[in-house]
Chains A and B, each alone.
Chain A
Amino acid sequence: DQQVKQNSPSLSVQEGRISILNCDYTNSMFDYFLWYKKYPAEGPTFLISISSIKDKNEDGRFTVFLNKSAKHLSLHIVPSQPGDSAVYFCAASQRGGAQKLVFGQGTRLTINP
């Protein structure tokens, strides 16, 4: 039962343009959503997160949008840079108890010069 889904395994974007990565979830008990970036042979590194009481959070070039009614979130990167090429994971955590993260399967983003 995959509660967090990233339906695009890969995405290719021109440098300087906007990258949009999508994520869907099924569990309405999730109350916090996070995006992680992962380079090969390294651990995931935190990018940005959003609480379920918000619909947008921005940090520099990164913006996360949350649509609770559609159970959908997206990560916008603008402008995209070559160093943004990595695998991006969407994750969610549930209120109460231990904060385990439930991850999507990742989207490989490639920024072309």
Chain B
Amino acid sequence: DTAVSQTPKYLVTQMGNDKSIKCEQNLGHDTMYWYKQDSKKFLKIMFSYNNKELIINETVPNRFSPKSPDKAHLNLHINSLELGDSAVYFCASSLPGLATHEQFFGPGTRLTVL
């Protein structure tokens, strides 16, 4: 029973295209995140939504637009893809007030821009 799921798992596309990655969590969490893991393996926050409201936007190019139709879903749309967008994108969710402060991560989407 998957807690945080992402689709697709792999995405290969040409420069200049527009693509979307979907994320869903069935944990009942209020907060969802997008992280990017680049070629140097750094995991960096991109966006966070709390109950469909944007609360974190970490100087990400405006070609990236997150959308949260409800608190269980956070999608990431990327316009005019560039070579440097190639990375693994992880969705995560959390419940504020959890004693451990943990965030639950999805399996990742590997995006390759050719």
A binds B: yes
Instruction: Give chain A's interface residues, CB within 8 Å of chain B.
Output: 32, 34, 36, 41-46, 49, 87, 89, 91, 93, 97-103, 105-106
* Tally of B interface residues using CB under 8 Å: 28
Instruction: Give chain B's interface residues, CB within 8 Å of chain A.
Output: 4, 31, 33, 35, 40-45, 48, 50, 55-56, 58, 90, 92, 94, 96, 100-108
In the complex, the answer to whether B45 meets A43 with C-beta atoms within 8 Å is: no
CA distance A102 to B43 in the complex (A): 8
In the complex, the answer to whether B102 meets A34 with C-beta atoms within 8 Å is: yes
Taking the closest CB of chain B, its distance from the CB of A20, in whole angstroms, is 21
In the complex, the answer to whether A105 meets B101 with C-beta atoms within 8 Å is: no
CA distance A102 to B101 in the complex (A): 13
In the complex, the answer to whether B107 meets A43 with C-beta atoms within 8 Å is: yes
In the complex, the answer to whether B45 meets A49 with C-beta atoms within 8 Å is: no
- If A98-B55, A99-B94, A100-B58 are given as contacts, then 7 extra A-B residue pairs at C-beta distance below 8 Å, sorted by A number, are A41-B108, A43-B108, A44-B90, A46-B100, A46-B103, A93-B101, A105-B41
